[in-house]
Amino acid sequence: MNASPNPELDFEIRASGAAVPADQRAQMLVAPGFGSVFTDHMATIRWSEEDGWHDARIEPYGPITLDPAAAVFHYGQEIFEGLKAYTQADGSVATFRPHANAARFNRSAARLAMPELPESLFVRAIELLVAQDRAWVPTADGHSLYLRPFMIATQIGLGVSKPSSQHLFTLIASPVSGYFGGKVRPVTVWLSEDYTRAAPGGTGEAKCGGNYAAAFAGQQQALDHGCDQVVWLDAAERRYVEEMGGMNIFFVYGSGADARIMTPATSGSLLHGMTRDSLLKLGPDLGVPAYESKISVADWRAGCASGEISEVFACGTAAVITPIGAVRSAEGEWVIGDGSAGLVTNMLRDELVGIQYGRKPDRYGWMHPLR
């Protein structure tokens, strides 16, 4: 579905009369964790077949009232994004590659037969919400404001003969520290052989809630086996590594001047992550060639045993760059390198995070200043 021609829609600002008091907010910002603290406001924009995008607002954060027969409850027509705003070294606030998120949001929308949102509206919603809730942008080292735009189908009715004719776009914001707890620590992963995440022609490339709903059974198995996250294999042969939980995955081959990084190629079933894409550019500029290919579980295990694979890490907006220390599966367990974060992982993380927090030059024009 095409975007309606309303990219310059004005937002109505409705300030909250019940904003969290400053001392309480400061307390909530000390150790926010991931995704459990929310700011005072949210952005909403409605869409209907008749009016296109309309009724754009910044309004108090709060429950959304929907008819129980709204399409999203029954058929899961929902998409989302994740990006962050960072306090910069000079005290200003900036976000990372918001236009790339807007473009991916629209690719997800197209796959789920939902209306595309003009990129300028997507970015404007972010600018206005962060300006309104500026006091919630964390300043502590490694903390940030996680932005979660999403869209749900709101048409009332249980028929499935056509996609919903009404949708609600919402943007909420959540101050966060680490996704896997306070410090960066290597995670242990479980290889899912019972379930797969995405098949060719399915929705694997889209960032839609349904992909995550279908992943929880595998994630629960990972937890039951004492692991942090599940690793997905390809649906056709169950041999090749695709993704880890809601994150992409990179393999470091060789070490020192010979180090190079490889990530599974996107073949329609895995997410085009912003961090993944950024590392494919950053790696070569730091002297670490980067490429997309494929790797089987057998080669992963053999590569770790021979030392050819020296490090493996996961990456995503939420997880940033997280080292993987060990792998478990029904067939056994193996350790990657010495099980701790490797030099290449740390170097890439420092560079990426340095750019995001304005401590290193933004050679790529990735940072988008906010107020």
Binding site for ligand COI (CB under 6 A): 82, 246, 316-318
| Closer residue to ligand COI in complex, CB, 207/301 | 207
CA-nearest of 293, 292, 304 to 329 is 304
In whole angstroms, how close is the CB of 349 to ligand COI at the nearest point?
15
Q: Strands 320-329 and 187-191, how do they pair? A: parallel
| Closer residue to ligand COI in complex, CB, 171/318 | 318
The DSSP call for residue 163 is: -
| Closer residue to ligand COI in complex, CB, 316/358 | 316
In whole angstroms, how close is the CB of 317 to ligand COI at the nearest point?
4
331: how many CB neighbours lie within 10 A of its CB? 11
| Closer residue to ligand COI in complex, CB, 166/188 | 188
Q: How far apart are CA 358 and CA 102, in angstroms?
A: 22
In whole angstroms, how close is the CB of 315 to ligand COI at the nearest point?
9
Asked if 357 contacts 93 with a C-beta cutoff of 8 angstroms, the reply is no
Give one DSSP letter per residue of 177-234, joined into a string. --TTSSS---EEEEE-SS--S--TTSSTTS-BHHHHHTTHHHHHHHHHTT-SEEEEE-
| Closer residue to ligand COI in complex, CB, 82/337 | 82
In whole angstroms, how close is the CB of 120 to ligand COI at the nearest point?
22
Query: Looking at the chain, which runs of residues are DSSP E strands?
Result: 11-13, 41-48, 52-60, 78-80, 83-87, 93-96, 144-153, 166-176, 187-191, 229-233, 241-244, 248-253, 260-264, 290-293, 309-316, 320-329, 332-335, 367-370
185: how many CB neighbours lie within 10 A of its CB? 14
In whole angstroms, how close is the CB of 318 to ligand COI at the nearest point?
3
Sign of CA dihedral 209, 215, 217, 220: negative
| Closer residue to ligand COI in complex, CB, 9/145 | 145
| Closer residue to ligand COI in complex, CB, 82/118 | 82
In whole angstroms, how close is the CB of 262 to ligand COI at the nearest point?
20
Comparing every residue's Cβ against ligand COI, the nearest one is 82
In whole angstroms, how close is the CB of 138 to ligand COI at the nearest point?
16
| Closer residue to ligand COI in complex, CB, 82/218 | 82
104-120 core/surface letters (b: 16 or more CB in 10 A; e: else): bbbebbebbebbbbbbe
In whole angstroms, how close is the CB of 81 to ligand COI at the nearest point?
7
